[in-house]
Homo-oligomer: A and B are copies of this chain.
Amino acid sequence: MEGVDHLAFERNKAEFDVDAMKIVWAGSSHAFEVSDRMSRLVASDPAFKKDHRPMLGRKELFKGTLKKAAYAWKRIIELRLSEEEASMLRSFVDEPAFTDLHWGMFIPAIKGQGTDEQQQKWLPLAQKMQIIGCYAQTELGHGSNVQGLETTATFDPKTDEFVIHSPTLTSSKWWPGGLGKISTHAVVYARLITDGQDHGVHGFIVQLRSLDDHLPLPGITVGDIGMKFGNGAYNTMDNGVLRFEHVRIPRDQMLMRVSRITREGKYVQSNVPRQLVYGTMVYVRQTIVSDASTAMSRAVCIATRYSAVRRQFGGSNGGLESQVIDYKTQQARLFPLLASAYAFRFVGEWLKWLYTDVMKRLQANDFSTLPEAHACTAGLKSLTTSATADGIEECRKLCGGHGYLCTSGLPELFAVYVPTCTYEGDNIVLLLQVARYLMKIISQLGSGKKPVGTTAYMGRVAQLMESQSDVQKAEDWLNPNAVLGAFEARAARKSVACAKNLSKFIEKLQQDIPGKGVKHQLEILCSIYALFHLHKHLGDFLSTGCITPKQGALANDQLRSLYSQVRPNAIALVDAFNYTDHYLSSILGCYDGNVYPKLYEAAWKDPLNDSVVPDGFQEYIRPMLKQQLRNARL
């Protein structure tokens, strides 16, 4: 049956131009072209095979990752790939590795916090991978609260060196990826101490391992912190533990762009704004939001395709059972997630713009939009990653029992994804920051200070506190202003900002979008996203009096009608993500829908099936069956 498209009948139902939607999803024709080319390059190369990952023991798994990383780097050099292409290729290899931290944290840290001199010295080494670096911030006892870090960097004016030290067990660096077994260097965050004075946390470049024999340098204890959630998943990464026993580094290895220590041990601030670090934070969180849409869309792609393949109940007299995707309960769980994937994509695009804007302003010493940008990215990071983690698990459940098999691709996707809710700002801590910011905005309203950017609507708070929705018919809920109005009114009254994804989605729809039916599909998804959340938070809307119970019921009516409109387009909408079978690595979500023969075939590849009688049978099972356990050595 190779080559037969078992979902062709679904694709034929689509009412829009899938190729045009692929461009919308990718962001531009150029982005689509690069992404499409790189994903095919990876998918077609057997060296990047990944479906055996869950079966490997830790050592084999890790060795495989080292091999893939080296091979990918070799290909990048051979094919003279651009930075954009190389980064895209790495993301399609789809395996957490030390290179993620090297390229994504170590190099950016030097770029952002190093002086020009430091950049000239270290960047070429790192960019040629003559050294490999990681980012050593989190400690065993200190995560969210960076200011609580315990590692010290004490300046010794006699030798013109810093002494890096781990004074307690809880000060051990713990979690940094790439640290455990591979990195030769690290950017280490430590309390800067000069002449008995604590200047707070700063970054230092510290060599960890010999470039000769890879052994840890004197005074350095380093290792892997052990297994993490899931099969394969993040266990390909050597998250590490690191302790310093009075390790000395030259003074010029403190990252000195913002502040520095003179030869005499004097602490001097440069005229570079300290706020630059927030710019980096906006950048990192923007990529996290964009990754959320990627992870959500992968899970949705798998669940949607398998829901069209799978049949259950409803068949009479030996006829085919009904496709699961035709059940209203399945649609009501699946389609809001599909809509969320698109919503997160568009808010991610907008965050890219926000980052550019913030950086431009910072360079002109304009810090006015920074608090708002900071609160906004914190809120969006928290909201999109929590929704995505839950969404992946919901997609797994939507696949029934088979979603529990590793070959569904969903267990590994979930296990790899969930730490996103914790790192780069724990989601709950971030929401508290947002809440604090909003309280401040509200307290300043009286003094006439005007809220900016995404909180501009708070300026109309008096009006919003009074507003009553004028929705009268179910279709009235399709009007973006009616929906946005209700969300703004609720946000103003509850003082929480979560209308952001929605407004970005609505904004996107005010643009011209080419391709038959594409814009219409996005309008449907936008309405689903809005009304699903209105339904989910109905208590807030009702208790703050923004809408009436009657209007809430109408929103539900409208939602049901929208689900029916998505149904014929569901497969095409996930095809528009343009994911290869290699990338998805899910039998349930394979493009051609030929699920069951593939599941059956894959089962036999489990190591347990290497022999008909399993290892252990003779020692443990036979004596039991033969009632000879008493004499068995166990």
* CB-based contact A129/B614 at 8 Å: no
Let me know if A512 is at the binding interface, CB within 8 A.
no
Let me know if A96 is at the binding interface, CB within 8 A.
no
Interface residues in A434-474 (C-beta closer than 8 Å to B): none
Q: Given the known A-B contacts A226-B603, A605-B226, A629-B77, are A622 and B214 also in contact in the complex, defined by CB atoms under 8 Å?
A: yes
Segment of A258-266, A311-319, A364-372 engaged in the interface with chain B = A311-319
* CB-based contact A227/B182 at 8 Å: no
Let me know if A141 is at the binding interface, CB within 8 A.
yes
When C-beta atoms are compared, the residue in chain B nearest to A77 turns out to be: B629
Q: Given the known A-B contacts A144-B400, A629-B77, are A231 and B227 also in contact in the complex, defined by CB atoms under 8 Å?
A: yes
Q: Flag A131-159 by CB within 8 Å of B: 1 or 0 each.
A: 11000001011111100100000000000
* CB-based contact B129/A600 at 8 Å: no
CB neighbours (8 Å) of A624 from chain B are 69-70, 73, 129, 132
CB neighbours (8 Å) of A213 from chain B are 613
- Cα distance A174–B406 when bound, in Å? 15
* CB-based contact B224/A63 at 8 Å: no
- Cα distance A62–B608 when bound, in Å? 8
- Cα distance A130–B622 when bound, in Å? 9
Q: Flag A196-222 by CB within 8 Å of B: 1 or 0 each.
A: 000000000000000101111000000
* CB-based contact B608/A405 at 8 Å: no
State how many copies of this chain the complex holds: 2
- Cα distance A602–B228 when bound, in Å? 13
- Shortest A342–chain B CB gap in Å is 24
When C-beta atoms are compared, the residue in chain B nearest to A626 turns out to be: B130
Let me know if A353 is at the binding interface, CB within 8 A.
no
- Cα distance A229–B410 when bound, in Å? 9
CB neighbours (8 Å) of A112 from chain B are none
CB neighbours (8 Å) of A407 from chain B are 226-227
CB neighbours (8 Å) of A63 from chain B are 614-616, 620
- Cα distance A141–B59 when bound, in Å? 36
Q: Given the known A-B contacts A66-B621, A321-B145, are A169 and B47 also in contact in the complex, defined by CB atoms under 8 Å?
A: no
CB neighbours (8 Å) of A4 from chain B are none
CB neighbours (8 Å) of A612 from chain B are 214-216
Q: Given the known A-B contacts A69-B620, A182-B621, A422-B404, are A223 and B604 also in contact in the complex, defined by CB atoms under 8 Å?
A: yes
CB neighbours (8 Å) of A130 from chain B are 625, 627
Segment of A33-41, A344-352, A411-419 engaged in the interface with chain B = A411-419
CB neighbours (8 Å) of A541 from chain B are 539
- Cα distance A492–B236 when bound, in Å? 52
When C-beta atoms are compared, the residue in chain B nearest to A142 turns out to be: B312
* CB-based contact A404/B432 at 8 Å: no
* CB-based contact B312/A143 at 8 Å: yes
Let me know if A517 is at the binding interface, CB within 8 A.
no
- Cα distance A148–B319 when bound, in Å? 10
Let me know if A128 is at the binding interface, CB within 8 A.
yes
CB neighbours (8 Å) of A422 from chain B are 397, 400-401, 403-404
- Cα distance A426–B329 when bound, in Å? 13
* CB-based contact B225/A630 at 8 Å: no
* CB-based contact B229/A406 at 8 Å: yes
Let me know if A79 is at the binding interface, CB within 8 A.
no
Interface residues in A578-627 (C-beta closer than 8 Å to B): 596-597, 599-600, 602-610, 612-617, 619-625, 627
Let me know if A485 is at the binding interface, CB within 8 A.
no
- Cα distance A414–B78 when bound, in Å? 44
CB neighbours (8 Å) of A623 from chain B are 70
- Shortest A15–chain B CB gap in Å is 28
- Cα distance A488–B406 when bound, in Å? 42
Let me know if A58 is at the binding interface, CB within 8 A.
yes
- Shortest A478–chain B CB gap in Å is 21
* CB-based contact B59/A615 at 8 Å: yes
A/B interface sample: 28 pairs, CB < 8 A: A59-B614, A70-B632, A71-B634, A74-B630, A78-B630, A148-B321, A169-B596, A170-B596, A181-B608, A181-B614, A181-B617, A211-B625, A215-B612, A216-B612, A223-B603, A224-B606, A228-B405, A229-B405, A230-B411, A234-B404, A241-B603, A393-B393, A397-B418, A397-B427, A403-B422, A537-B539, A538-B542, A539-B541
